[in-house]
Amino acid sequence: MATSVMAGQQIEMMGATTRPRRRAESVAERNRSLYETQRKARRGPTPEVFFAKHLDNTRLVKADDPERRREMRQFTVAMSMLFVLVMVYVWQHFMAIEIGYRVEAQKQQVEQMREENRQLRLNEAQLTDPERIDKIAKQLGLDAPAPGQVVRPDGSKSGAVWAEADAPKIVAVR
């Protein structure tokens, strides 16, 4: 905006100096006066001149180029295939990393379960120790069982039992 105002001022100054002058005035004096008026109007060491260009490209029509379109299709297909291959590689890489983490977590879980199993077996061995059971029974005032007094869960009797023979069973065959 300021440059257009300055340009307008320069034009006015030039117009003012272009009045009919006497022939006696030399060209050098005229140039000197024009230079002085322009120098006063300048902001810096060089004048700023801007031209506004108004271009109307609405009537331009791009010509269809089938060869260029074919090349662009081939390029798009090639880049799409490259993209798909890279994504498959990246997906496989991340899946391998994830599976590695799962394997390590399961190895740790197996080791933890083995240690827990070892602790439980040790605890079971301590609890089923006959000396420990006998000691606790004596503390509670219990005595050793009499023969035939203990009955096992499968129905058999423990202790001294006389040999018994069962009579053979007769099965009818038809």
| Arithmetic mean of pLDDT over the chain | 81
Output the pLDDT for position 25. Answer: 64
> Is pLDDT above 80 for 85?
yes
Output the pLDDT for position 87. Answer: 98
Distance in Å from the first CA to the final CA of the chain? 127
Output the pLDDT for position 163. Answer: 56
* For the chain, domain boundaries: 1-59, 84-139
* pTM (global) more than 0.95: no
Q: Are 150 and 159 in contact (CB under 8 A)?
A: yes
